[in-house]
Amino acid sequence: MSSSLIFTLILLLSLYSSFSSASLHNATDKSVTLRPQNEIKKLKLIREHLQKINKPAVKTIQSSDGDIIDCVPSHHQPAFDHPLLQGQRPMDPPEMPKGHSQENESHEDFQLWSLTGEFCPEGTIPIRRTTEQDMLRASSVRRFGRKIRRVRRDSSSNGHEHAVGYVSGSKYYGAKASINVWTPHVNSQNEFSLSQIWVIAGSFADDLNTIEAGWQVSPELYGDTNPRFFTYWTSDAYQATGCYNLLCSGFIQTNNRIAIGAAISPVSSYKGGQFDISLLIWKDPKHGHWWLQFGSGTLVGYWPVSLFTHLMEHGNMVQFGGEIVNTRPDGSHTSTQMGSGHFAGEGFGKASYFRNLEVVDWDNTLIPISNLRVLADHPNCYDIRGGVNRVWGNYFYYGGPGKNSKCP
């Protein structure tokens, strides 16, 4: 090869190299300048959203688990930002369902923050403050505080797995149960484990209406693995309406001693003490709103009937039980636990339970469930076993460890 040709090739290569490095340098510069712009835009969105949901407080309480509880005037709570609720004030207590027993004392100090001995003044409600860190953990600012949409109760295609008892085929005006509380292991930030009551109307398509309450462990939502008291609602199958707790406008809280979304204490222990919470959801016959009661007499608040389409009248299904999200880490089933993390067959003190299952009928009467059906969509991972006795009425044990030799 001639020296002139070699020189030409070297020149071309050096030109290409300098052009490539310049391009790379420009591209790097571009990404370096773009990334902060995206971050700044996201932080701006987050701060705007936080201003909407974190209302000015008259008092602030610091919880031992790191939560900040703001005491917000009840007429300034997030619910009243809803276009249908603007200008309203919380309703007076409704008529209780007939047959409602005072079986156990109502204990309002079942949350970690209340162990400080401090409470919110009359006329205010306690709201767990949402932080930038909470929102940065979310998959998107727009979807913050919302469940991943699930298509059907019995579908396993979207990662949601259940072990539930349910009734359908009638008109339901509420539901009641006592649920024992655990601290199940949750495998990753974007999975959760919950135990709850669902009151459902509509189909499992785009028009699904649900009202939900119970306890959950959700590292993404709360930043820890404490079980927390929660509520949820949707009127369009988890698409654009509804959210957890008070993270959007909707649920109207009336109680000044319970913080929705705050950690529960104490919790149940394996072969040890069992701690359960009693929840009642029912439709006020006079105004039509759906109320939530904790324990045997503590009203938490209500979902206004105007939020719903099908639930304006009644529910057509009630579900009780557990739900987890399985993201299939490493291609195998998640080790996220449901309930206590133990199968139903282990029984009292070891497995999770729902007891004293009741529904509210058309004339606002609590009646025992007579036709409970049970379903576990992945019984080798989480199962369920029902029963009836004189003390617990209708009950079931449920739950499981997730990944095991029969659930690979």
Q: Which residue has the tokens 């509210």?
A: 360
CB atoms within 10 A of CB 37: 9
CB atoms within 10 A of CB 4: 8
Q: Are 301 and 193 in contact (CB under 8 A)?
A: no
Please enumerate in sequence order all residues whose Cβ is within 8 A of that of 58, keeping only pairs 6 or more positions apart, or say none. 71, 72, 73, 121, 124
The DSSP output letter for 98 is: B
Catalytic site residue from 161, 212, 313, 358: 212
Catalytic site residue from 313, 323, 346, 358: 323
264-289 residues labelled b (16+ CB within 10 A) or e (exposed): bbebbeeeeebebbbbbbbbbeeebb
Q: Which residue has the tokens 């698409």?
A: 239
220 is catalytic: no
H or E element at residue 132: helix 132-137
Q: Are 263 and 111 in contact (CB under 8 A)?
A: yes
50-84 residues labelled b (16+ CB within 10 A) or e (exposed): eeebbbebeeebebebebbbbbbebeebbbbebee
- For residue 73, how far is the Cα from the chain centroid? 24
Contacts 24+ apart (CB under 8 A), 49-57: 49/135, 49/141, 49/144, 50/130, 50/131, 50/132, 50/135, 52/78, 52/81, 53/78, 53/130, 53/246, 53/247, 53/248, 54/127, 54/129, 54/130, 55/127, 57/124, 57/127
Q: Are 78 and 62 in contact (CB under 8 A)?
A: no
Q: Are 160 and 317 in contact (CB under 8 A)?
A: no
Active site residues: 212, 323
